[in-house]
Amino acid sequence: MKIGIISDLHIDINQAFPVGTLLADAARRKELSCLAIAGDISNDSAETLKFIEELSSRCGIPVYFVPGNHDFWSANGNEAETWRIWEQYRAHPACLSDKQIALNEDWVLLGEPGWYDYSFGNPRFSRADFELKKQYGRTWQDSLHVNWGRPDIEVHQRMLNRLEESLLAAQGKQVVALIHMVGKKEFTVPESWPQWDYFNAFLGSKDYGELLERFAVRYAAMGHVHFRHTVQSGDTTYFCTCLNYHTQWRSGDPAEEIEQTLQVIDLL
């Protein structure tokens, strides 16, 4: 069977382009058995869930996802709204959080959104610096739209613990894992790029990579950083599968961008 993986569709920012239709066309053309999206579908939970349901109908195959940080955004950015959105996702059958999807007798699909613990930020900044989410005249937008009501590091640890519980329950199976946040330094932005010595702190945590490799996960898909990379580390193959904003596309053709981004894994 074939599973397709992609992330960072940003359908609101890319609303001038028929991303859903083109992705469904690609899924049929590649004869996928299911499609998995590693977060950042939109900036609105209702829009994200509507898109997932419509895409599954268009494709005629199951579509699964983990939320990304943008999927948790709300206009008022209050704590009650963030947790309401999170519970809404968790309750949806297509969301991988707290679930294991049996792909066949040997393989399972699982995942969590993940969060950040500042471990990818340059250590010349303090934890207090990172908690501000402001530097170089820029503001990390999660601070305006997401409010967990607790420190980022605590949210990250909860996500990490949940992922570990899923991996423990999947022992004996081959695993495809989705995490929106990145877990390998190779997926962070080079510090030679202006300002990223600070803003890399909000891309994820090395803990995710260490956990996945401890469980010898075969495939791990990540997003968030708007890069497209493949990294092999130990027994684990990592994919960064971001479609990205249309302003970041390498071509003017959305179908070509989807073709270049969609990662197909043939589970033999």
**pLDDT tens-digit series, residues 5-27:** 999 999 999 999 999 999 999 99
Predicted local distance difference test score (pLDDT) of residue 252: 84
Residue 74 has pLDDT above 90, yes or no: yes
User: What is the architecture, at CATH level 2, of domain 2-266?
Assistant: 4-Layer Sandwich (3.60)
Q: Which two tokens stand for residue 251?
A: 């071509």
Predicted local distance difference test score (pLDDT) of residue 7: 98
Q: Which amino acid type is present at position 117?
A: D
What is the average per-residue pLDDT within 212-241? 97
- Residues 174-210 have pLDDT tens digits of 999 999 999 999 999 999 999 999 999 999 999 999 9
Return d(Cα 22, Cα 4) in angstroms, integer. Answer: 14
Residue 268 has pLDDT above 90, yes or no: no
Helix (H) or strand (E) holding 18: none
Q: Six-digit token pair at 203?
A: 């891309």
**Mean pLDDT throughout 47-62?**
97
Whether the Cβ atoms of residue 185 and residue 120 lie closer than 8 Å to each other: yes
pLDDT greater than 80 at residue 107: yes
Predicted confidence (pLDDT) at residue 237 exceeds the cutoff of 90: yes
φ, ψ for residue 251, nearest 5 deg: -135, 175
pLDDT of residue 76: 84
Task: Provide the residue ranges of all domains of the chain, joining segments of one domain with +.
Answer: 2-266
Q: Kindly report the pTM of this predicted structure.
A: 0.97
Residue 77, pLDDT score:
86
Closest-CA residue to 8 (of 186, 207, 181): 181
Q: d(Cα 83, Cα 1) in Å, to the nearest integer?
A: 36
Residue 92 has pLDDT above 80, yes or no: yes
The single-letter code of the amino acid at 191 is: E
| Mean pLDDT confidence for 213-224 | 98
